[in-house]
Chains A and B, each alone.
Chain A
């Protein structure tokens, strides 16, 4: 499998595709830094980081510009697209190119082919996400002159891991379609459409919220317990989208002040302390999210694995 992994990585780093994606990453990080440059003062004042929380460095990654947090938004879009681009023709290009039967006639297990490709994709994703985070962190450090605390470094690292897992989910999905469809056009289009629906419509345009409100309406006049229950249901409906899960996870990681993964009563609000929650608590909050994202990737990969193992090899 090492040979396949090596070859896939070689292909990956020599392809025009990867070069274009890398340019995209550079543009996104550059723009993110610019946004931070423009908005960090306002963001710091608003978040109270300077006076209370002390998470100055993390604000670099979340400070907004024209009402959008550019960097996180870019990552929400670029990472899934990178995943799809890395996986959509993994198997069917080998099939149409006539290399699959030649490859499988070599003394390698059939699963090493798909495992090698998946692993190579994860390595590529890790490199891209790592580069983006390091670029912003490095330039940001120069810009604001406030070094990150140990906790901030850990939070950023976990954020990187979650992002790679999220990208791996999209790659596994695209690979699944590359096993099912014989044409690369189909296996690229279907995951892209899924991405449009679960991110752009469901999360970004707020379709998910409307659907959730229609299914579980919160009517005034009912008792508090029912209202809370409905609110919980609404949130769970929203969480059907992996993009929403990812969004919740990164907010919990990067904005320690934020403590609202769920409905909070006005009466309780008075008791809330205006302090950031600890790293352990943030991790506990996003643990189910991480588990769901990992299991989604595993399910997609599992289905493509089984399908590929049973598939006929002949080119026709």
Chain B
């Protein structure tokens, strides 16, 4: 991962019929990282991607993909960027290999070179046996894998994947995520749009969360957690026999505790480290009867929910 930016946007805005879909978006994707663009449906993820490719014009603001401006030089951007749209389709009457050959031709790849790359990428996505099959016989998962091959055929510097795992079975998802996780080692930056938090967490170095066209938070996953959960990486849930206001005060004064939330018998303590034993001791010392204590390490889910709770 380097410090050079692969994608940079400044105040990127897009309106459709007076509705602002993307609102002053500032996005930073570093070279050779996997960046996850998260957000619920309709948050403006696809629109942002289309603007980055120069397929739709922003109302205002600036975008930069490597050293090119996608609005003014869309062809230069498209030459180095591979894009896998959400509902990817292929020409049904052509075989997998013919579909890829067509894309290679559009990218002006030398036929001999193209034939070699087609075999390589098909092998990478595990479609070697189906390469001469007509694509209308392909299953959803096979099409998605062929889509990945299709994106890689031009050896892109940046790959943009829009909901690549939607409609895949768990085995297919794992296979796809492995391929994605491997891309930075080949010198390819990845921008992955998704609402599947677990998958993003598994492969992404950094994430940006979009909501209603605005970037609510952006940065490396590890840092985000601290920020989102007001400093606490751990949430420790303490259940006592009956509510105890005194205990709340004691816990709040404890070193390393950031926040204590009480709801009935349950106390939620946010801490920077695993303070279970200290907390247990404090509970017992305060004469409250401890029923159970649970530790919960943050996940992207929590960050995500945190932001959408605030909406």
Task: Give A residues with C-beta under 8 Å from B.
Answer: 3-4, 6-7, 11, 14-15, 97-99, 101-109, 312-315
Contact = CB atoms under 8 A, between A and B. Distances in A.
Given A315-B85, A315-B87, A14 B56 contact: no
Given A98-B85, A101-B85, A312-B56, A106 B103 contact: yes
Interface in B51-95: 53, 55-56, 75-76, 78-79, 81-93
Contacts, number: 69
A273 to B, nearest CB: 58
Contacts of A4: 106
A98 B106 contact: no
A113 to B, nearest CB: 10
A44 B79 CA distance: 64
A99 B90 contact: yes
A106 B106 CA distance: 7
Interface centre among B85, B88, B92 (most CB of A within 10 A): B85
Contacts of B79: 107
Contact of A102 (B56, B108, B150): B150
Contacts of A11: 91, 93
B55 A105 contact: yes
Ranked nearest first, the 7 interchain pairs of A and B with the lowest CB-CB distance are: A98-B89, A3-B105, A105-B83, A97-B89, A101-B85, A106-B106, A107-B78
Contacts of B75: 107-109
A225 B252 CA distance: 107
A6 B85 CA distance: 24
Contacts of A313: 50, 55-56
A101 B106 contact: no
A99 B50 contact: no
Contacts of B102: 3, 7
Could you say which of B46, B84, B88, B91 has the most chain A C-beta atoms within 10 Å of its C-beta? B91
Contacts of B92: 97
A188 to B, nearest CB: 18
A101 B85 CA distance: 7
B55 A101 contact: yes
A315 B103 CA distance: 19
Contacts of A103: 106
Contact of A314 (B50, B76, B78): B50
Contacts of B55: 101, 104-105, 313
A98 B93 contact: no
Nearest to A3: B105
B306 interface: no
7 contacts: A3-B102, A7-B102, A102-B150, A103-B106, A105-B78, A107-B107, A312-B56
B223 to A, nearest CB: 32
Contacts of B88: 98, 102
A4 B102 CA distance: 8
Contacts of A99: 89-91
Interface in B15-46: 46
B85 A102 contact: yes
A218 to B, nearest CB: 53
Contacts of B150: 102
A4 B79 CA distance: 17
Nearest to A16: B93
B87 to A, nearest CB: 5
B106 A108 contact: yes
A14 B106 CA distance: 21
Nearest to A311: B56
B47 to A, nearest CB: 8
Q: For A103, A105, A109, A313, which residue has the most chain B Cβ atoms within 10 angstroms?
A: A105
A101 B83 contact: yes
Nearest to A106: B106
Given A312-B56, A315-B86, A105 B81 contact: yes
A312 B21 CA distance: 14
A3 B114 CA distance: 14
Contacts of A312: 56
Contacts of B82: 105
Contact of B93 (A15, A106, A314): A15
A163 B108 CA distance: 36
Given A102-B150, A314-B47, 12 more contacts: A7-B91, A15-B93, A97-B91, A99-B89, A101-B85, A102-B85, A102-B147, A105-B85, A107-B78, A107-B107, A108-B75, A315-B86
Contacts of A108: 75, 78, 106
A307 to B, nearest CB: 15
Contacts of B56: 312-314
B63 to A, nearest CB: 15
Interface string B210-238: 00000000000000000000000000000
Contacts of B46: 314
Nearest to B85: A101
B106 A102 contact: no
Contacts of B81: 105
Which of B55, B76, B81, B83 is packed against the most chain A CB atoms within 10 Å?
B55
Contacts of B105: 3, 6-7
Interface string B287-305: 0000000000000000000
Contacts of A101: 55, 83, 85
